Copies of this chain bind each other. A is one copy, B any other.
Amino acid sequence: MIVGVLGGGQLGRMLGLAGLPLGLKFRFLDPEPDSPCAQVGEQLVGSYTDPATLDRFAAGLDAATFEFENVPADTVRRIARSVPVFPSAQALETAQDRLSEKNLFQSLGIPTPSYYPLSHRDDLAAGLDRIGCPAVLKTRRFGYDGKGQWLIQRAEDANLILSQLPAEPDSLILEGFVRFDREVSLIAVRGRSGEARFYPLVENHHQGGILRLSLAPAPNVSVELQRAAQAYAARLLETLDYVGVLTLELFLRGDALLANEIAPRVHNSGHWTIEGAETSQFENHLRAVLGFPLGSTDCRGVSAMWNILGAPPNYEAILAVPRQHLHLYGKEPRSGRKIGHVTVCASDWEAVHQQLEPIRALAPQT
């Protein structure tokens, strides 16, 4: 069977690495030649909007999916004419727009920070009146790794913020700033049959808007909290008739969860599942997309995932650290760029942190 993947970055590469042992073959579409996917399948180099390229991509596929959410929904719709594509174009569109995400959360009774859509940047003053300060101004679409977000501490800073905005941002949304205790995420997966499974909540630590460290399962999470997060994710999966891995990012404040956003794909905060869970998020996404039974989401001990950003570290020194699993994506190093990650697994947190310490020192942010 051949699986088509729109996007050929590290997520596509890891989908390929999970699928090859299942006997699957892969075809990727990515405008960048020699993308990280190129070693695990055929890569078509071309545009997501060129009909001839899309038809060439879709020819002979058994199923298709995407590995980043800025693929145009119309691209998914065109491919879906001839090949089953999961998640659906509708789910993708919902996740592409912060306003439709928030509206969906609200309609399903999932708590979310207060928000106020701006149809124009000039509406900012009215939004600040409603939301109060501090608030976060975000582009509704195409934000990632903290890009497209501006913190507004005081209403009188609004003009300065407006002057910093890119010339023509997509439409904007103003959100209440959440003084959260922790950021967590839930990786959920739903099969074509409607069966859903959930990994345990993951605790995420960001630095400059970029995910740096994930701890899984998130320490000190009660059964009730895990159940609440799963119930929210289950509502989203059902409503969207979702197939594949869906990531729900949440703020945790005391015992309360606030939904921040969803990613309609495998997610950086789920990389630990490769070694730390019975079935990785990548394998489960493929199982779901192909209509196979889902695999167990049980943990194998506890895990920490550390992103390698920017310059390549001393790999030999990292390989000398016990219980670590190094993953490099074959990307050219560039400041702030995710070029790999290291997962440390053990039976207890003490052992994990003991091995994580040298890894953190060997792969600092650059």
Q: Does residue A328 face the partner (Cβ distance < 8 Å to B)? A: yes
Stretch at the interface among A119-127, A153-161, A312-320: A312-320
Q: Does residue A60 face the partner (Cβ distance < 8 Å to B)? A: no
> In the docked arrangement, what's the CA distance between A238 and B79, Å?
58
A17 proximity list for chain B (CB < 8 A): 17, 20-21
Q: Which of A1-56 contact B (CB under 8 A)?
A: 13, 17, 20-23, 25-26, 39-41
Number of copies of chain A assembled together: 2
Q: Does residue A295 face the partner (Cβ distance < 8 Å to B)? A: yes
> In the docked arrangement, what's the CA distance between A23 and B316, Å?
12
Closest to A38 in B: B25
Q: Does residue A323 face the partner (Cβ distance < 8 Å to B)? A: yes
Q: Closest approach, in angstroms, between the C-beta of A340 and any C-beta of chain B? A: 7
Q: Which of A315-360 contact B (CB under 8 A)?
A: 315-316, 319-320, 322-323, 325-330, 340
Closest to A316 in B: B292
A287 proximity list for chain B (CB < 8 A): 319
Q: Does residue A219 face the partner (Cβ distance < 8 Å to B)? A: no
Q: Does residue A293 face the partner (Cβ distance < 8 Å to B)? A: yes
Of B25, B40, B319, the residue contacting A20 (CB under 8 A) is B40
Interface residues of A (CB under 8 A from B): 13, 17, 20-23, 25-26, 39-41, 278, 287, 292-293, 295-296, 300, 315-316, 319-320, 322-323, 325-330, 340
